[in-house]
Amino acid sequence: MIDKKGEQCYYGFMAKDDNQPATKKDVFEIVAQASDLIIKGMEEMFERQDKRYDKKFEGVDSRLDTIEQGVVNLKSGQYELKKSIQDLQVDTPSRVEFNRLKAKVDRHHPTN
């Protein structure tokens, strides 16, 4: 995308009909103008990109906060679940203990 100044720079260089070689000053001016135009174009491109990303990432902070809170809640729930499993393991008899208790119950309260 070349604006009017860029066109003037290009055509000004190409329209030299004096058949004289470009002087150091001419080249410097042309390069300086071209550099300024490139930088201006890059700045415009980045500004447009920033606007797009601002819209795209709008609200990301609040969504990340929600996710982080969910992770904290999940870790808390995981701890509680582990604690419950440990409590069950402590309260659950082994197979041998269970069979002994079952034999005692069967002696006092037969099911047949």
Q: How many domains does the chain have?
A: 2
Judgement on whether residues 23 and 38 belong to the same structural domain of the protein: yes
pLDDT at position 29: 85
What are the 10-residue block averages of pLDDT along the chain, 112 residues in total? 63 62 81 90 93 82 86 85 80 84 88 72
Same domain, 2 and 47: yes
Please report, for residues 58, 67, 81, 106, the alpha-carbon distance to residue 32 in angstroms, rounded to integers and kept in the order given: 38, 50, 69, 102
Q: Which pLDDT does position 74 carry in this prediction?
A: 86
Domain that holds residue 52: 1-58
Terminal-residue alpha carbon distance, the chain: 95
Tokens encoding 35: 């550099």
CB 10 within 8 Å of CB 38: no
Residues 54 and 78 placed together within one structural domain of the fold: no
